[in-house]
Amino acid sequence: MDLRAGVSGHTRLAVVIGEPVRHSLSPAIHNAAFAALDMDWVFLACEVPEGGVPEALAGALALGIEGLSVTMPHKAAVAAAVDRLSGTASLLGAVNCVAREGRRLVGHSTDGDGFVDALGSEPGWSPTGARCVVFGAGGAGRAVVLALADAGAAEVAVVNRTTQHAEAAAALAGDRGRVAAAAETGRFDLVVNATPLGMTGRGGGALPLDPELLQPGQLLVDLVYEPAETVLLSAARERGVRAFNGVRMLVHQAARAFELWTGTEAPIEVMAAATTEALARR
Ligand code: NAP
């Protein structure tokens, strides 16, 4: 695909900001979507150093950039700098997507909705009434806790190394949230790994929980997507547990962002294929 052939003075621009940002899958995902829908848009990656968010947002507004994805380490700084926050972004204090509304920048958080959309693609599975446990209470864990509660989960428990962080994350689920111990894992319908344990380069063989605690009939979602098959996923499947990795969430959170920027339904299958291809090229 030669994107340059179609670029003109009318081409609209969206970008991802972060540091580092060159590894980002967002350009591959969004440019594939624009191409599939024959939209005159391009998506680029812009490295913005820590502390550079106010300048970057002012520049984006001045240049008429249509939308921004936001990755580490800028999610909280962007939340503090935009003109308005969505309800979810405000509760999380974090933004992963900025949309332009005229002369105003609006911060959104699409990770949680992307996670629930990903669950929706699991046949016969719904978060409504489900008992859920989330390992990890960082940015991803907090987004997942809030989204599960919003989606009608009966219970959202949090297991985390730092208890104070677990308490803050569990509070996002109101009276359905609580801090749990890993030993309770077997009593939940849904088990989520929202820690980086198992990720390539971050202790690839490390496990966030003992797979012996998992029970057949549970659904396990590992938010890690590199490697595609973590040690946790393999161990879960060996125990008869349904399990999938973080690619579906990654694709669905991008789709939510795409729809906020363009007002056009995102081509999920195209975006999923582009993600898989980009990951395979690494
Ligand atoms: P984060 O904000 O840094 O939070 C990391 C969480 O993991 C914290 O709760 C931390 O515990 C815990 N943790 C870190 N190292 C640990 C260790 N050695 N032992 C036990 N707990 C540990 O990271 P994040 O942004 O939430 O990302 C978490 C994971 O989700 C990453 O693998 C990321 O790639 C993935 N993710 C995937 C998607 C997707 O679309 N699939 C989206 C976002 C994130 P403390 O509170 O004690 O520090």
Question: What confidence score (pLDDT) does residue 127 get?
Answer: 97
Tell me, using a 6 A CB cutoff, whether residue 29 lines ligand 1: no
Residue nearest to atom 11 of ligand 1 (CA): 161
Q: Does 45 participate in catalysis according to the annotation?
A: no
Distance between CA atoms of 69 and 32, rounded to whole angstroms? Answer: 16
Q: Give me the DSSP letters along 178-235.
A: EE--GGGGGG-SEEEE-SSTT-TTS-TT--SS-GGG--TT-EEEE---SSSS-HHHHH
Distance 195 CA to ligand 1 centre (A): 3
Q: Enter the pTM of the model.
A: 0.97
Listed in sequence order, the residues at least 6 apart from 236 whose beta carbon sits closer than 8 Å to its beta carbon are 211, 214, 220, 243
Q: Please give the average pLDDT of every successive group of 10 residues along the chain, which has 282 residues.
A: 81 98 97 97 98 98 97 97 98 98 96 97 94 97 98 98 98 98 98 94 82 96 95 96 97 98 98 97 90
- Residue of 109, 172, 221, 223 best suited for mutating to test ligand 1, as the one with most atoms within 8 Å of CB: 223
- Strands 97-101 and 155-159 come out as unpaired
Tell me, using a 6 A CB cutoff, whether residue 230 lines ligand 1: no
Distance 6 CA to ligand 1 centre (A): 39
Question: What confidence score (pLDDT) does residue 1 get?
Answer: 59
- Residue of 135, 179, 195 best suited for mutating to test ligand 1, as the one with most atoms within 8 Å of CB: 195
Question: What confidence score (pLDDT) does residue 201 get?
Answer: 81
* Structural domains in the chain, sorted by start: 3-109+249-280 (3.40.50.10860), 113-245 (3.40.50.720)
Distance 271 CA to ligand 1 centre (A): 24
Question: What confidence score (pLDDT) does residue 204 get?
Answer: 62
Tell me, using a 6 A CB cutoff, whether residue 140 lines ligand 1: yes
